[in-house]
Structures are given as structure tokens and as C-alpha cells.
Amino acid sequence: MQLILILAGAGLFLFFVYSAVVSWREREPVAAKHFFITAILILIPFFLTAFIPFTGKVFVFSLLMAGWTAGILIFLLPNGKNHAYRQVKPEGKIDERDTMFSRNELMPDTENFEDYYKHHPEKKALDDRFRGNKGLLQKGTTQYNPFYFASADASFETIAALRNFVNGTVATEKIPVKPEEISRYIKNWSKKLGAVDCGITELQDYHIYSTGGRGERYGRKFEKRHRFALAFTVEMNHEMIQTAPAGTVVMESGQQYLESGRIALQVARFIRNLGYEARAHIDGNYEVVCPLVARDAGLGEIGRIGLLMTPKQGPRVRIAVVTTNLPLITDRPLHDFSFIDACVQCKKCAEVCPSNAISFNDREIINGSLHWQINQESCFTFWTIAGTDCGRCISVCPYSHPDNGLHNLVRFGMHNSGAFRKIALKMDDIYYGRKPIPKPPPKKLQTT
Ligand code: SF4
Ligand code: SF4
């Protein structure tokens, strides 16, 4: 009995000490302190029972062992899984002109401006709110930092310079390919190029914007020209995202839009070199709705923030897409109820959102599709005050923790067991805080 108590207590103690060390290294001192206190508290009853003689020792031993076993079973036994999954596919297409980036580019006294608000008069007052603010990456915003904003601008300008390469000449000689082999090759190569994941889906009408809304593509009707779409995710650095809504967040966004875009451009060019049509969809030049393509390509689910929630990085990713006629093997969508269920319970992003843009309600049918929709006007208006793309919702999400042993163990439990999911979400609030304070920028990037 004594040996069992020592082993069980020591096992738990070591696990929580390990969690404390991981948290300390992740610059989470509060979580590290909480994990360390838990390690001590959990050790006490096991060791007291093991070493101090008292009446009723067998009863306390049974209680401790029952608790220990229950914990393991809650973690390991699958329950509350995909039987409850429900997805309603979108009926219509999204018009890119309705997105905030497109509306932000509308200049007063131009034809597009007059035309847009003639057809959407209800949006005029909402948009005048953000037009009265300083704007993204501008001096005078609350998060203004000349170094961070200039760095972010450098990334976005580099992407802009690459936009002309999304299309290109297709080689006249068509190299014969086997769908399995070429699908596997592209996935492995894109990961070598820096993607954390790559998935393939058959392109659907609802993946494609009905009409372009940016730059020279404004007002252009988009049609389905390719059969397949490849989606790539790249990771946004955890340390940078933890600073949200500081300037370092928009720096990281710009960098990862560029990284994902670069991978898409290389893969598209590669496919054209083989003699097949391919178009890259990169920041500022999308014809497709990336999160919907990525979800159908099996890379994640759409969560409460309206972003793709991925198994290893949560919403802490950026996405780019390549559409093509290259014959490919498609992936199965995850159809993972655990993400949806976690978002139904958690609501942490909605609580911290500085613009109250995130709904506290359950998913709703909006434009024929079952999902959460943020209030994009409120969100964007906050961006134009802060000067950054905020990212507070991404930074506090329990799925955004780094991709390492500790957090992947928790992610496995959350995916596997509804009961564990409930406990893990509560623990996340206790250990990391329900409204965690933004972290300072990484030491090497701090400015005076
Ligand atoms: S913070 Fe919570 S509710 Fe928001 S996306 Fe993440 S899991 Fe879902
Ligand atoms: S980016 Fe910021 S303002 Fe926008 S939804 Fe997320 S937390 Fe809210």
C-alpha cells in the first residue's frame, strides 16, 4: 500500500512540476506558480497517508486511488465525440466587397464608394466610424510603435509586390502524374517549405467569393475554374501573439501572411511547371475564402472567432490556398465536434474582446450556414484605433498554447473526452487566467 501511494503521489507531483517548468519556459510565471503549488498540494495527502499511521488509513487509501483512477479514466475513455457533430454547408457565396479590408479601401467621392453605399446604405454609418480613426499601422494609434509598424508594413508591402505572381504561364509539356504520389509530394514539400499542415479538398462554389473586392479585382465576378484546392497553414509565433493587441502582433501577422503566401506561390509555380493550371491565393489577392477551404481540406474546424481552429496550434495560424486542375487525392474533413463543444462552453475570447465583437451565443444559421459570426465592423473599428490587427481572441484561446508535449497531451484529452474537455477548460482559466494580461514583447525586440 505504501509503495503504491508513493508511486501515485510522485507521478502526479512530477507531472505538475514538469508543467510548471514548461510554463516558466513559455513566459507564463503565474501558470508556473499555480502548477508548482498544485504539485506540492497533491503530494501531501499521498505522502501523509503513506508515512503516518492513523485509523481509517485503508479508507483514505481507497479514496485517493479512486480519485487517481477516475482521473485517468476521464482522460482516456472516449466520450462526447463526433455523434453530435452538425455542419450546414453554406448556400450562397460571400461577396468580397462586404469584407472590412475591401470597405477600408473605398475612397470617398469615387464610383466604387458611391455604388457600394447606394446598395448598402445600412453600412455607411458603421464604416464612417472606422474612417474617422487613425487607421492600421498609423501614427497616433494606441499601439503605435515606429519599429513594429514599419516592420509589419515591410512584410505587407513585400506580399503586395508578389501579388502579380499568383498566376503565370503553364508549361506546354504536361508531365504525367499519379494523384497519390503528387498529393503526397506536395504535402511533404510544403511542410519542408515551412507549412505546419497541408490539406486537399474539391473546390466548392461556396469556397469562391462571388465578386472581387480589392484592388484591380474590384467588381470582377469569380467563377470556379479549378477542380481542387490545396490549403496550407503556417504557425504564428506564440511569444509574439501573447503580446496582443501590441504592435508585435501585426508584425507577426504580416510575417506569416508572407510565409504562407510564399509557400502558395512556390507550389502554384511548381504545378504550372508540370503543365497544369494553378493559382495561388495570398493576402490581398484571394478569390477563395481560405478558412472554409482549409476546413473542408481537413485542417480544422471554424470556431467562435470565425477563424480556423487547428489541432496543434488552435487559431494561431495563417492560411494560404492554391487552386488547380492537377489531379489530386482529397482529404476528409475532420468533422471534429470537440472544437465546437469547447467553443460552446469556453467563451474566453468573447470575454476579452475589447470591441465586444464576439458572440456569447451558440452557433446560428446565418446566410444558410451554421456558424459563429463576429461583428466585423466592431472588430475592425478597434483595429483602426489600436493600429494593429489586435489578436487578443487568438492569444487567450486555450487551443493556442504552444505545440509541445504538455499541451498536446491536454489537446488529446480535450479531443477524446467530453468530461476531460470540461475540466481542462476550467483548469485553463485557473492556471492561465480567465482574462490573461498581455505579455511584453520578446526581449530581443523590445524598444525604448
Ligand atoms: S477562446 Fe474558447 S470560445 Fe474562443 S475560440 Fe478559443 S476555445 Fe473557442
Ligand atoms: S481581433 Fe480583437 S477586436 Fe477583433 S474579434 Fe478578436 S479580440 Fe475582438
**Is 306's C-beta closer than 6 angstroms to any atom of ligand 1?**
no
What are the φ and ψ backbone dihedral angles of 202, each rounded to 5 degrees? -80, 130
Cell of 55: 485509523
To test the pocket of ligand 1, the residue of 347, 353, 356 to mutate (highest count of ligand atoms within 8 Å of its CB) is: 347
- Flag residues of the chain having pLDDT under 50: none
Determine the pLDDT at residue 92.
Answer: 86
Cβ atoms 239, 123 nearer than 8 A:
no
Residue 80: count of CB within 10 angstroms of its CB: 16
Residues linked to residue 366 through DSSP beta bridges, in sequence order = 369
**Is 348's C-beta closer than 6 angstroms to any atom of ligand 2?**
no
Strands 228-235 and 317-324: antiparallel
Determine the pLDDT at residue 194.
Answer: 98
- From the CA of 356, how far away is ligand 1's center (Å)? 14
Rounded to 5 degrees, what angle do the CA atoms 192, 193, 198 make? Answer: 80
In a domain? residue 447: no
254 by Cβ neighbours in 10 Å (0-12 / 13-18 / 19+) ranks as buried
- In 3D space, the residue among 329, 341, 335, 304 whose CA is nearest the CA of residue 417 turns out to be 341
- From the CA of 181, how far away is ligand 2's center (Å)? 41
Cell of 9: 503521489
- From the CA of 60, how far away is ligand 1's center (Å)? 38
In a domain? residue 281: yes
Indicate if 99 and 72 belong to the same structural domain. no
Indicate if 270 and 379 belong to the same structural domain. yes
In a domain? residue 360: yes
Indicate if 369 and 412 belong to the same structural domain. no
> How far out from the chain centre does Cα 296 lie?
15
Nearest C-alpha to atom 4 of ligand 1 is from which residue? 349
Indicate if 222 and 323 belong to the same structural domain. yes
pLDDT digits (tens, 9 = 90+) for 344-403: 999 999 999 999 999 999 999 887 788 999 999 999 999 999 999 999 999 999 999 999
In a domain? residue 357: yes
Residue 19 domain boundaries: 2-81+398-440
**Is 106's C-beta closer than 6 angstroms to any atom of ligand 2?**
no
- From the CA of 374, how far away is ligand 2's center (Å)? 9
**Is 302's C-beta closer than 6 angstroms to any atom of ligand 1?**
no
Which ligand lies nearest the alpha carbon of 386? 2
119 by Cβ neighbours in 10 Å (0-12 / 13-18 / 19+) ranks as exposed
Q: Is the dihedral of CA 334, 402, 315, 225 positive or negative?
A: negative
Indicate if 18 and 88 belong to the same structural domain. no
3 by Cβ neighbours in 10 Å (0-12 / 13-18 / 19+) ranks as exposed
- From the CA of 352, how far away is ligand 2's center (Å)? 8
Indicate if 130 and 56 belong to the same structural domain. no
Residues linked to residue 371 through DSSP beta bridges, in sequence order = 364
Amino acid at 180: E
Cβ atoms 211, 97 nearer than 8 A:
yes
**Is 46's C-beta closer than 6 angstroms to any atom of ligand 1?**
no
- In 3D space, the residue among 398, 399, 304, 401 whose CA is nearest the CA of residue 350 turns out to be 304
Q: Is 1 helix (H, G, I), strand (E, B) or coil?
A: coil
Distance, CA of 387 to CA of 141 (rounded, Å): 5
Report the number of distinct structural domains present in the chain: 2
Determine the pLDDT at residue 85.
Answer: 76
Cβ atoms 225, 288 nearer than 8 A:
no
What are the φ and ψ backbone dihedral angles of 187, each rounded to 5 degrees? -60, -45
- In 3D space, the residue among 285, 241, 254 whose CA is nearest the CA of residue 150 turns out to be 254
Determine the pLDDT at residue 339.
Answer: 95
Which ligand lies nearest the alpha carbon of 345? 1
Determine the pLDDT at residue 54.
Answer: 87
Counting from 1 in the atom list of ligand 1, the atom nearest the Cα of 344 is: 3
Cell of 113: 464608394
Nearest C-alpha to atom 1 of ligand 1 is from which residue? 397
To test the pocket of ligand 2, the residue of 355, 359, 389 to mutate (highest count of ligand atoms within 8 Å of its CB) is: 355
In a domain? residue 448: no
Indicate if 402 and 385 belong to the same structural domain. no
Indicate if 93 and 62 belong to the same structural domain. no
Residue 169: count of CB within 10 angstroms of its CB: 8
Q: State pTM to two decimals.
A: 0.94
Indicate if 187 and 300 belong to the same structural domain. yes
Nearest C-alpha to atom 7 of ligand 1 is from which residue? 343
Indicate if 68 and 126 belong to the same structural domain. no
In a domain? residue 445: no
**Is 372's C-beta closer than 6 angstroms to any atom of ligand 2?**
no
In a domain? residue 88: yes
In a domain? residue 278: yes
Distance, CA of 108 to CA of 112 (rounded, Å): 9
Indicate if 307 and 430 belong to the same structural domain. no
Instruction: Return left, alpha or beta for 108; rule: phi > 0 is left, psi -120 to 50 is alpha, else beta.
Output: beta
- In 3D space, the residue among 382, 393, 384, 443 whose CA is nearest the CA of residue 248 turns out to be 443
Indicate if 280 and 374 belong to the same structural domain. yes
User: What are the DSSP calls for 303-369, one per residue?
Assistant: -TTSSEEBTTTBT-EEEEEEEE-S--PPPPP---HHHHHHHHHH-HHHHH-TT--S--SPPEEETTE
